Structure 1
């Protein structure tokens, strides 16, 4: 990772956002997921910048060195989209290419739907485009949590999961990263663990697997960096994204049936639990994204795809950015 990354701040959509910037050229915004930060893109920033792009990776609302508003409702999808629009304006740009991982993929997809004039191409990692469902999330939670906890429902009560995670931030992050990564899925015992669904008599942190040694893609210094960021921000803001799932559904009836029209790349790990949880969205991705350029599952990789497989992800992103349709859009 280059020491020349510039750390800067901008006022966007009413909050102070921290971002890392590198390179010159057409703007590429890299949007992280949960529980991560700009640092989850550390392997991509220099590679994309070297290909002739201005790369900006923000800490999104509630994360890292970006503001953590107190109002839970301020983390709804319209504000998260507004943050990206405001950041593009603060950077003095008129358009950008978006790449998003996990929650960042959801925000990137919504931003592309709402501002196709600004966001002209996008790469989605781990989470495929999720068309607005006919059933609100609260109803889904009621019918799918009768026998086990579902993590998104478990996150709803204010303060509960934050207290668990903040008992030992570094250990909590290690458990989340390892449990959702490819290594744990190949372990004979740890593969039985998982936090998407877990026993009613367990806490969220009890559902996690912990490795004897760090996975190859995550160094002690990497884990320390993430832990320091969450020690500063806490987990409350990032969990509030989940507490707006029902509100997001209520705010967006106008997105019923909406399809993404921009050139789009999708990449995920074959062992990513999200792909199994959202199998229908993955299978129907070509129908919902007519200009899908490529749909890739990397063998044996888990959820943290751009960190687990940086060289392969970088190659796919650069191929996408050089695609004639994307070059024309930018």
Structure 2
């Protein structure tokens, strides 16, 4: 069952368009996509969550078409986290609600999970580990430096996308290149088409995710607490998933993430999957998520 409906949600700074599955009375699951992507990448996961009893809502995040350009002009981590919290309220979420994020959606979910008063009972993040994993000294100083150097080489695009005009013009070639490099051997097809459709007319807005990440001092004051929370320990049980063949972020972050998470959490490597693991291995990813949500 991949039948979804498109809904509109009027927020304070963003008018969201979202894909939705399942009955409105069911517990809420908010699924947040990353870059360069769209909520269509959740279409292989959403039906299994509905079968497990959830109402699934996957928004186009701020700036991605057809959601609106945010009136506050912010693409900071704190603002993305604030959106996830606001969506919980706007969609009538309760204490059964869960949050799932991939890539930038994972970063936003880490920030949400770092807030003591956040509304989600469990959180799943994919492909970007909690901040504490990046500072872990497991293996000693040499291993720590080696990880950071190797990750920096993979993250070259972060600096490239700070360049005005040139970065925007590169996106028609860069977006499919990143899908190929980050999920080696996977033919993205309709998922790549859906991602480009959400990005093509919003190139500068999408790149501002990276440009604002390099300028944390410009975060709106109302989102400053959520911005700081991305560096805080996770306050709720979390499932962290990472593709074993990820070409964007080192697969070894999985084990390091496991050592930073609180009791009741899990970290799993997803075999035969790269960065976009939810589209490459949707059945396995869904099973891991549902098992985690059902765990006592």
Q: TM-score, normalised by structure 1?
A: 0.74
Q: Aligned residue for 2:163?
A: 157
Structure 2 vs 1, CA of residues 98 and 256 (structure 1 numbering), >3 Å: closer, same or farther? closer
* Residues 9 and 15 in structure 2, CA contact (< 8 A), matched pair in contact too: yes
Structure 2 vs 1, CA of residues 155 and 261 (structure 1 numbering), >3 Å: closer, same or farther? same
Q: Aligned residue for 2:243?
A: 269
* Residues 182 and 302 in structure 1, CA contact (< 8 A), matched pair in contact too: yes
How far has the Cα of 1:239 moved from its partner? 1.1
Structure 2 vs 1, CA of residues 289 and 79 (structure 1 numbering), >3 Å: closer, same or farther? same
Matches of 1:59 and 1:273, distance apart in 2:
24
Structure 2 vs 1, CA of residues 147 and 284 (structure 1 numbering), >3 Å: closer, same or farther? closer
Please identify, of 44-53 and 252-261, the stretch whose mean Cα deviation from structure 2 is larger: 252-261
Render the CA deviation track for 1:5-43: whole Å, top value 9, x for unaligned. Answer: 110111123210111111131111101010111111010
* Residues 275 and 282 in structure 1, CA contact (< 8 A), matched pair in contact too: no
* Residues 37 and 59 in structure 1, CA contact (< 8 A), matched pair in contact too: yes
1:317 pairs with 270, 286, 289, which one?
A: 289
Q: Aligned residue for 1:129?
A: 130
Query: How do 1:109-128 and structure 2 match up within 5 A?
Result: 109-114=110-115, 116-128=117-129
Q: Aligned residue for 1:208?
A: none
Q: Are 1:226 and 2:195 an aligned pair?
A: yes
Matches of 2:248 and 2:288, distance apart in 1:
20
SS in 1 for 2:43: helix
Query: How do 1:6-155 and structure 2 match up within 5 A?
Result: 6-24=5-23, 25-69=26-70, 74-95=74-95, 96-114=97-115, 116-131=117-132, 150-155=156-161
Q: Aligned residue for 1:188?
A: none
How far has the Cα of 1:57 moved from its partner? 0.5
Unaligned segments of structure 2, at least 5 residues: 136-147, 219-223
Matches of 2:207 and 2:228, distance apart in 1:
26
- The number of equivalent residue pairs is 274
* Residues 16 and 67 in structure 2, CA contact (< 8 A), matched pair in contact too: yes
* Residues 263 and 293 in structure 1, CA contact (< 8 A), matched pair in contact too: yes
Structure 2 vs 1, CA of residues 90 and 71 (structure 1 numbering), >3 Å: closer, same or farther? closer
1:245 pairs with 197, 213, 223, which one?
A: 213
Structure 2 vs 1, CA of residues 270 and 71 (structure 1 numbering), >3 Å: closer, same or farther? same
Please provide the CA RMSD for this pair.
3.0
How far has the Cα of 1:157 moved from its partner? 2.6
* Residues 65 and 229 in structure 1, CA contact (< 8 A), matched pair in contact too: yes
SS in 1 for 2:19: strand
SS in 2 for 1:52: coil
